[in-house]
Amino acid sequence: MSQPQEPGSRPGYPVGARVSVAELAADPHPALRRLREAEPVSWLPAIGGWLVTGADLVDRVLRQPGAFTVDDPQFTTARVVGPSMLSLDGTEHRRHRDPFARALRAADTQARLAEAVASEAARLVAELASGPGEAELRRGLAGQLAVAVMADMLGLDAKPSLLLAWYDAIVGGVSALSVPDAAVTDTAATAFGELSACVEAALAEPAQPSVLTAAASSLSAAEIVSNAAVMLFGGIETTEGMICNAVWYLLRDQAAWRDVMADRHLIGNAVEEALRLEPAAAVVDRYATTDVTVGTADIHAGDLVRISITAANRDPAVFTDPDRFDIHRGNARQHWAFAVGPHFCVGAQLARKEAVEAIIALLDRLPGLRLDPNRTSAPEGLVFRKPPALHVRWNA
């Protein structure tokens, strides 16, 4: 494998050369639009790699695991939690993923989790409804719902606050590795160690059958721990984000909020449209396994190839008037928010269920729900995008 060139050494990408990490983390959409139009595959010195923004090229890279891999020492999540279905390809990827995918597809598991999601969403919103008519929904609803569902799915005996603390530390550790030359933080390493002990205890003395116990016959304890970490990480981080982003978009458009209130069948499409406009996982990383040309870019083996899900989801070649939030959009579900190809999100259907049930509970219990006009709540983040806090008010 040839050695990648140093960041900043690829001439011919003037738009990418001017893009900063701060711009991508705050409001990336103008920069992504410029890149998609002028340099749909561009070298960005700010990230030390390529950024793919055109929808057709994003789809191509995601569907070519032979040419682009996650199985690379630089892959950020693997550096924090070890090899897992998220950071492996080919036969090893399937060996790690299949036991969890089978367990989640089982009819009894789906029915049990669907009931748990609806019950927990209703309980959490009922608690909010008993309050003073204002609340913060990121941790008051979205995060708590996501962590409760993941604890149930994985059969973990740990307080939600502790699971959230581990998750925060792991997410922070992964995010910190998104810039060149960063190292795994002590906080992230400690959190993963504590989560590992919790998972091992659940395997040793399971309180009930779970997705973890279903995997125990084909994976080692260490492999189950790593996969549990990425499932917890993804199941909380991206689900919390997609719930917050969907509520944020709906409450910014009171006509859309009234539409879903009048017709609950629109909620699912509203969630898809919010996922399209602001995917909770904004980018995914791959590494070139060989010299390859994508679009007009000559990519070298070993290069970081960062795929902008956010940019692909707003490509006008796929979506008419792509920056508009339209809960009636016919092809809203055509987005790449859950990726495509071998690494399509294993928990996509469960995450969708959580977002829909959270919105149903809000519609049922909080009349006059609206964003707090005195607090900002726009999504932000380089890798994972959501409101840092989502403050709302309602007619108590």
Percent over 70 (pLDDT), the chain: 97
State the average pLDDT for the chain: 93
Residue 386 phi/psi, 5-degree rounding, is -170, 165
196, 211, 365 from 349: Cα distances, Å: 26, 15, 25
What is the rounded average pLDDT of the residues 319-339? Answer: 98
Residue 278 is predicted with a pLDDT of 98
Instruction: Supply angle C-alpha 331, 28, 341, rounded to 5.
Output: 45
Round to whole Å and give the CA distance between 393 and 135. 7
pLDDT band at 74 (very low <50, low <70, confident <90, very high): confident
Per the CB < 8 A criterion, the answer to whether 385 and 241 are in contact is yes
Query: Does the pLDDT of residue 181 top 80, yes or no?
Result: no
Per the CB < 8 A criterion, the answer to whether 124 and 145 are in contact is yes
pLDDT band at 9 (very low <50, low <70, confident <90, very high): low
Span 250-260, pLDDT tens digits = 999 999 999 99
Topology of the domain covering 14-393? Cytochrome p450 (1.10.630)
Per the CB < 8 A criterion, the answer to whether 303 and 292 are in contact is no
Q: What is the residue extent of each domain of the chain? A: 14-393
Least confident of 157-161, 175-179, 187-191, 233-237: 175-179
Q: Which residues, including other chains, have CB under 8 Å from residue 314's CB and lie 6 or more apart?
A: 29, 32, 33, 36, 276, 277, 322, 323
* DSSP class of 82: -
Query: Does the pLDDT of residue 178 top 70, yes or no?
Result: no
What is the rounded average pLDDT of the residues 40-68? Answer: 96
What is the rounded average pLDDT of the residues 152-179? Answer: 85
Span 203-244, pLDDT tens digits = 988 888 889 999 998 999 999 999 998 898 889 989 999 999
Per the CB < 8 A criterion, the answer to whether 387 and 243 are in contact is no
What is the rounded average pLDDT of the residues 303-312? Answer: 97
Query: Does the pLDDT of residue 122 top 80, yes or no?
Result: yes
For the chain, the farthest-separated pair of C-alpha atoms sits apart, in whole angstroms, at 63
Residue 1 is predicted with a pLDDT of 33
Query: Does the pLDDT of residue 5 top 60, yes or no?
Result: no
What is the rounded average pLDDT of the residues 127-151? Answer: 95
How would you classify the pairing of strands 304-308 and 49-52?
A: parallel
Residue 177 is predicted with a pLDDT of 81
Per the CB < 8 A criterion, the answer to whether 192 and 170 are in contact is yes
- Return the SS3 of 266: helix
pLDDT band at 7 (very low <50, low <70, confident <90, very high): very low
Query: Does the pLDDT of residue 8 top 60, yes or no?
Result: no
Span 364-379, pLDDT tens digits = 999 999 999 999 899 9
What is the rounded average pLDDT of the residues 30-36? Answer: 98
What is the rounded average pLDDT of the residues 181-205? Answer: 89
